[in-house]
């Protein structure tokens, strides 16, 4: 039990002591968009994961708005992907540490899923 918490006498003081001891208090937390955070090691080997109308873009391409695809009922940029993965995120953790980051909780990794098209 935290010393500050043990010294607290009132319920209000105890609540404050709990908040003060919480590791998240003052933490720098980053949200990572996995697809575009870091280039995958084997981008060409992933092409089969992005069947038409999805597009796996070259890593150097800049995201840009695209035309509406009436058959798919989406804008083309909504189904553009850059192929980043968890391994590529792990390879760049030092970058986040160098920025002063100390937390990357699971909910802050943008969901990885197959988009419904």
Q: Return the H-helix or E-strand segment holding 56.
A: strand 55-56
How do residues 51-78 score in pLDDT, each as one tens digit?
999 999 999 999 999 999 999 999 999 9
Q: What is the dihedral of CA 71, 111, 30, 35, to 10 degrees?
A: -50
pLDDT reported for residue 70: 96
Cα distance between residue 40 and residue 8, in whole Å: 50
| Higher pLDDT among residues 100 and 87, named by residue | 87
Confidence class for position 22, pLDDT limits 50, 70, 90 = confident
pLDDT reported for residue 65: 96
* Global confidence as pTM: 0.65
CA separation, residue 1 to residues 14, 17, 18, 21, 97 (Å): 11, 11, 10, 10, 29
Show me where the domains of the chain are located.
23-108
């Amino acid at each position: 039990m935290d010393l500050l918490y043990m010294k607290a006498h009132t319920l209000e003081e105890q609540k404050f002591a709990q908040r003060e001891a919480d590791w998240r208090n003052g933490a720098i937390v980053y949200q990572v968009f996995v697809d575009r955070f870091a280039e995958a090691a084997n981008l060409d080997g992933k092409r089969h994961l992005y069947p038409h109308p999805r597009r796996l873009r070259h890593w150097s391409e800049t995201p840009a708005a695209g035309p509406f695809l009436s058959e798919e009922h989406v804008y083309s940029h909504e189904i553009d992907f850059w192929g980043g993965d968890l391994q590529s995120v792990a390879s760049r953790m030092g970058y986040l540490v160098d920025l002063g980051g100390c937390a990357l909780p699971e909910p802050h990794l943008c969901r990885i899923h197959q988009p419904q098209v």
